[in-house]
Amino acid sequence: MMNDNAQNLRQSDLAHYMHPFTDTEALGKEGGARIITRAEGAHIWDISGNKILDGMAGLWCVNIGYGRKELADAAARQMNTLPYYNSFFKTATVPSIELAEQLAARTPAGLNHVFYANSGSEANDTIVRMVRYYWELEGEAQRQIIIGRNHGYHGSTSVTASLSGPHMHGQGGVPLPGFSHIAAPYLFGADTELDAEAFGIQAAQALEERILELGADKVAAFIGEPVQGSGGMIVPPASYWGKIQRICKKYGVLLIADEVITGFGRTGKWFASELYDIKPDLMTLAKGLSSGYLPISAVIVGDRVANTIIHKGSEFVHGFTYSGHPVSCAVALENIRIIADEGLVENAATVGDYLQTRLRDLKDHPLVGEVRGIGLLGAIELVQSKSPRRFFETKGEVGTRCRDHCFANSLVMRAVRDTMIISPPLMFSKAHVDELLEKARKALDSTWADLC
Ligand code: PLP
């Protein structure tokens, strides 16, 4: 009965459901989608009853873990009180105000204003309009270009795919004009003799070179994820962000920290900006803001930009029907309460240290060229040869194979090219880390056996 049902659902899925980031024809040949039916803590269950360890917290978002009734209750309470009202035209709701106050208090000093959207993409799209509007108001309307980085990911709308690295360009008229990209601080991927710190400085220096090439009077902002996530989990050398900030300051370029992944504890700090002492002008938040229980995102706007828009501007002609949705805000408030009360940021730091140590145990594996990470973010780079370091020629094939072996071993790890990514819920325990590493090693062994 269950199997018939699963089969019917898979057929229906293939016939009607266009998934994001999916080759539907290939999915059909593989027999259709894995259908997830329930979840609890750090585990998910598929329709066949398999219990799977979620090493990715959904899509880097379920920070508090699954099954927290408090969030369902908060949503039900708010739905029963006021299921919807908007924030347009001089109105607000109680949860949207309370959440804005919390976000202003928790994010680094100077970030005191909140603009809501529904996804990381929408929030970054908002930022692009906002910074260009800021420069118009400051009498420098020619400052239009926003500089991002290779392997950066900021979303999938036409604007945010343009903002993202070249791996997101090429389909559907993207990139749009007005965006430029510099190399990422990706030491393992670089052909260099430099040590990490010198490499960090060199990678940051590329920003100054690009600003001068474009003309400083044309550059509106620089955007970066403090630790690059879905472009391959790139942890910058310690020297990197300080140098980037000095360059932004020198040329008056606004600095945007995209903390969609790194926000809300993932690196062992509430925000990775604290970790690297980044003082952004604007910050993007989503994912961990509600632990993915409901869609919500926020742009946290620093005083410099907010004061110009509020005092020099008129109406900012921008917003979404669901900006500041009261139910999403109520759920986000409860999520933040749980993160704070249960010490999940501290847990991410402690269990994160354990994860980083245990990851190093994998370095003896013939497929593993490097492990890296910070807090509860981890990456395992698979290589064809360790010394000299040689990547696989057909990028992504071995990573995909390894990801499939992970699934077969009841573990979710994501593959970005041939880099295996780990980003589990922040309520992960050391026992969860042990379970993850044991399953990961089995998947690596099976992948290796395929290649031999
Ligand atoms: N920014 C970063 C750093 C992300 O990782 C993502 C999504 O993975 C986004 C923005 C886009 O967020 P969304 O998928 O909610 O539009």
Residues in contact with 48: Cβ distance below 8 Å, sequence separation at least 6, in sequence order: 2, 3, 6
Q: Ligand 1 centroid to 193 CA: how many Å?
A: 33
Mean pLDDT of 149-168: 98
- Whether 184 shows a pLDDT value over 50: the answer reads yes
33-63 confidence digits (pLDDT tens):
999 999 999 999 999 999 999 999 999 999 9
Pocket test for ligand 1, best of 287, 289, 296, 416 (most atoms within 8 A of CB): 287
Is the bond preceding 425 in cis, omega lying within 30 degrees of 0?
no
Residue type at position 176: L
User: Bridge partners of 182?
Assistant: 149
Per-residue burial over 36-73, b = 16 or more CB atoms within 10 Å of its CB, e = otherwise: eeebebbbbebbeeeebbbbbbbebbbbbbbebeebee
**Angle formed by the axes of helices 344-360 and 326-341, nearest 10°:** 70
Q: List Cα–Cα distances, 261 to 101, 114, 152, 356, in angstroms.
A: 21, 18, 12, 18
Q: Token pair 């309470």 is at which residue? A: 77
Report the share of the chain in percent with pLDDT over 70. Answer: 100
119 Cβ inside 6 Å of ligand 1: yes
Q: Ligand 1 centroid to 298 CA: how many Å?
A: 12
Q: Write down the pLDDT at residue 402.
A: 98
405-447 confidence digits (pLDDT tens):
999 999 999 999 999 999 999 999 999 999 999 999 999 999 9
Which element (helix H / strand E) includes 190?
none
Q: How far is CA 449 from the centre of its chain?
A: 32
Tell me the pLDDT of the chain averaged across its residues.
97
Q: List Cα–Cα distances, 222 to 145, 226, 272, 302, in angstroms.
A: 9, 12, 17, 15
Q: Tell me the ipTM for this assembly.
A: 1.00
Mean pLDDT of 250-258: 98
Q: pLDDT tier at 1 (50, 70, 90 boundaries)?
A: very low
Q: Write down the pLDDT at residue 2.
A: 52
**Ligand 1 atom closest to Cα of 60?**
8
Q: Write down the pLDDT at residue 3.
A: 72
55-75 confidence digits (pLDDT tens):
999 999 999 999 999 999 999
283 Cβ inside 6 Å of ligand 1: no
Q: Ligand 1 centroid to 51 CA: how many Å?
A: 27
User: Bridge partners of 53?
Assistant: 43, 411
Q: pLDDT tier at 334 (50, 70, 90 boundaries)?
A: very high
Residues in contact with 7: Cβ distance below 8 Å, sequence separation at least 6, in sequence order: none
Compute the distance between CA of residue 346 and CA of residue 28 in angstroms, rounded to an integer. 43
Mean pLDDT of 203-226: 98
Label residue 90 exposed, middle or buried (CB < 10 Å: 0-12, 13-18, 19+). Answer: exposed
The token pair at 149 is 């980085």
286 Cβ inside 6 Å of ligand 1: yes
Q: Ligand 1 centroid to 445 CA: how many Å?
A: 32
120-131 confidence digits (pLDDT tens):
999 999 999 999
Q: Token pair 């105000």 is at which residue? A: 97
Q: Write down the pLDDT at residue 149.
A: 98
155 Cβ inside 6 Å of ligand 1: yes
261 Cβ inside 6 Å of ligand 1: yes
Mean pLDDT of 386-405: 95
Mean pLDDT of 220-225: 98
